[in-house]
Amino acid sequence: MFEKFLHQAPFFRLIVPLALGILFQVNFQYIAFHVTALICILLFSITVLLHVFKLNNNYRLNKVWGLVISLFLFAFGVQLVHIKQKKELFFSGDQETFIATIVEQPEEKKNSIKTILTLDYLKDSNKWNNSRTKILCYFEKDSSTMMLNLGDQILVNAFINEIKHTGNPYAFNYKKYLKYKKIYNQCFIKSGNYKLLETNKGPKAYLFSNKIRRQLLNIYIENGIRGEEFAVLSALTLGYKSELTPELKESFSTSGAMHILAVSGLHVGIIYIILCKLIFFLQRIKYGKYIQSIIVILVLFFYAFLTGLSDSVFRATIMFSFISIGKMFTRQVNIYNSIAASAFILLFINPYSLMNVGFQLSYAAVLSIIFFQPKLYSLLNFQNTFLDYFWQLISVSIAAQIGTFPITMFYFGQFPLYFILTNILIIPIATIIIYSAFILFILSFSNGLTQVIAIFLNFITRFLNKSISFIENLPYSKIDQFLVDGYESILWIIFILMISFFIISKRIKFLKFSLILALLVFFYNLSNSYINSKKSIFIVHHINKTSSIHFIKNNRSQVFLNNDVDLCDTNLKYNLSPVWKNLEICKNSRSIDSVHKPLKFIQFKSKRIVQLQQNALHNINSKNRLKVDYLILSDNIDICFNKLNNHFEFELIIFDSSNNYYRVKNWEKECVKNNTQFYNVLDRGAYIEYL
């Protein structure tokens, strides 16, 4: 049965070794570019020879043929990553002069304007060097920067810095996230440090789609759609998420409805169904199915461009395009082969797509729905059309959660308990909103009709927001204390695969394997809890302009902070909560304590630690030379290193993130001159020691 499936879906056999090759190179980077190039050429030559001499038709050599192709695709996956890996540009550290183009629609933040620039030319001495590097950019917020638009080319004077990971334990690695988007550097541009040179630069297709999207957004505004309704409606229909507040995002995330705010498979699927129903009559004429498929694909790609050609919508467009192409040439389409083919093409275009959470969730959800939904749906048979429709929605929701559960828990650490209720509500409402929005756009020339449709859209979107808020506020709306690390996530994925193989083959051995895996997960969690309870960790966190020294012992946490910082501070909690969550400390709030002192002396296990802030040395008797292991300098303390040596005998000096960057650089020079061991948190990330 399984062999028959692989024969009907050949792209499934191709995608696995390709994906493994990509994963291998991304995580280990052991094989050099020229080595993989030679391996690819060698294996490709062997494949061609086997095919030319028809040795692949020989039954005995058939497995060798399959092995050679798999090895070639593995090596090809490694090579794809090599090709995409651009050398990171290193900048002098001085202020740079460069010409850049805005390639992402600027987004208003609380204190700045955020966008992505493509560095066109970089000035070196008296000449301009061509460069096509992407840079994350923040503009100082004022009336002129608010007017910046996609396609604007600017002349800039600014510092370009490397994007760094904070290194805080279990924290989200923003540097790695941007690396997969081929962004390695960032800059902050003050208002007077740039000059607009030209507008409408860059790919015309992107500029055209951005112009159309802004015109469509204006239709919403002109028809009185404002506030949260506008924010949700523009995100849901056009992929414009700049107006979404953190509270709205949290509300949709907690209720399990976040996927409708990112234009993706659900939205493209609805568009696909609408189109197929509108032009169904074309199948009755000669070559009609070809015309229908071409129209569908063209409209889907236009919609993709209209929504900014984000990764999620591009994935869904490619996926549905392959399904449409399959229907064009055959009456019965193997949906698994079409999905695998779309993934193969996407990974060929950009191998880093595999590391994208959206990519993983999209394909896991689609495959899980296709496989599990029919089996779940067949368990109950409703004669009533209304009940049958809702049972379809429920079975789709459960099927999607089965496939995405390990990935969701690994990346986000939370699971919405009312996902069935959420999907029963939002999928019909989202469908109605998308239909209504398209009618509004089509009839935008008629003031009377658009006003009526806009009033309805405003009402239905407000109803959607209220429903999401209601579900969010239900008791136990989410599980966020159930932790899944990388290893456990892999065990859960294998568990789901074993259950799937059992359903396909009816072989009892797969059921036995799944039970063994369930036991492994149980004992793995048990052992993890025991190990975490015995951990003793000393951390100097990297939190912007904040001193945070963290001690963890016997499932208890003690945090030493600046005098002006509260433990409830949003930025502080964002950086500390992953530690509490992963070490299971946050289950008991009494296990977390914060302390504020101008001078701290801590004996932690065998280590003696002192933190010095402004005026701290006034309390020290200079005749006593205190022996410590770690000396931490904070809050830009004005100090002479000779004076430090008079007061302390220490092994390592740590500069925490509450200090000014340039002051720390001066301290580093002093340490090098005096042959003193030091650790710079601003440059190297959080200092972590397991004791």
Q: What is the pLDDT of residue 32?
A: 67
Residue 52 identity: V
- Provide the pLDDT for residue 606: 87
pLDDT at site 310 = 72
Model confidence at 5: pLDDT above 70? no
Question: How confident is the model at residue 101, as a pLDDT?
Answer: 92
Please, how many CA atoms are within 13 Å of residue 94, restricted to the half-sphere of its CB?
6
Q: What's the pLDDT score for residue 116?
A: 92
Question: Cβ contacts of residue 369 below 8 Å, gap of 6+?
Answer: 396, 399, 400, 403
Residue type, 427: I
Q: Out of 1.10.357, 2.60.40, 2.40.128, 2.40.50, select the CATH number for domain 96-202.
A: 2.40.50
SS (H, E, C) 369-423: HHHHHHHHHCCCCCCCHHHHHHHHHHHHHHHHHHHHHHHHHHHHCCEECCHHHHH
Sketch the domain layout of the chain as residue ranges: 2-84, 96-202, 208-479, 498-532, 536-690
Instruction: Give the pLDDT of residue 519.
Output: 92
Whether 540 and 656 have beta carbons less than 8 Å apart is answered as yes
Of the given ranges (508-517, 536-545, 608-617), which has the lowest mean pLDDT? 608-617
Mean pLDDT across the stretch 387-415?
A: 85
Q: What is the pLDDT of residues 243-286, one digit of tens each?
A: 888 788 878 877 777 777 766 666 777 778 777 777 777 777 77
Q: Which residues pair with 543 in a beta bridge?
A: 546
* DSSP string of 581-644, one letter each residue: HHTT-TTSGGGEEEEE-SEEEEEETTEEEEEE-TTGGGGS-TT--EE-SEEEE-TT----HHHH
- Quote the pLDDT of residue 95: 84
Residue 686's pLDDT band (boundaries 50, 70, 90)? very high
- Residues 6 or more apart in contact with residue 477 via CB below 8 angstroms: 254, 255, 416, 417, 418, 471
3-state DSSP helix/strand/coil percent for the chain, to nearest 5?
Answer: 55, 15, 25
Could you tell me the end-to-end alpha-carbon distance of the chain, in angstroms, rounded to an integer? 54
The pLDDT, as a whole number, for residue 655 is 92
Residue 137 has pLDDT above 90, yes or no: yes
SS3 (DSSP) at 246: helix
Kindly state the helix (H) or strand (E) to which residue 440 belongs, with its residue range.
helix 419-442
640 residue type, one letter? C
Taking CA atoms, 216 is separated from 1, 121, 224, 238, in Å, by: 50, 34, 13, 8
With vertex at residue 369, the alpha carbon angle to CA 368 and CA 375, rounded to the nearest 5 degrees, is: 95
- pLDDT tens sequence across 548-565: 888 988 888 888 887 667
**Given the DSSP bridges, would you call strands 556-561 and 592-596 parallel, antiparallel or unpaired?**
parallel
pLDDT (tens digit, 9 = 90+) per residue, 208-224?
Answer: 888 888 888 888 888 88
| pLDDT exceeds cutoff 90 at 367 | no
Averaged over 96-120, what is the pLDDT? Answer: 88
Could you give the CA distance from residue 533 to residue 527 in angstroms, rounded to a whole number?
A: 10
Percentage of the chain exceeding pLDDT 70: 87
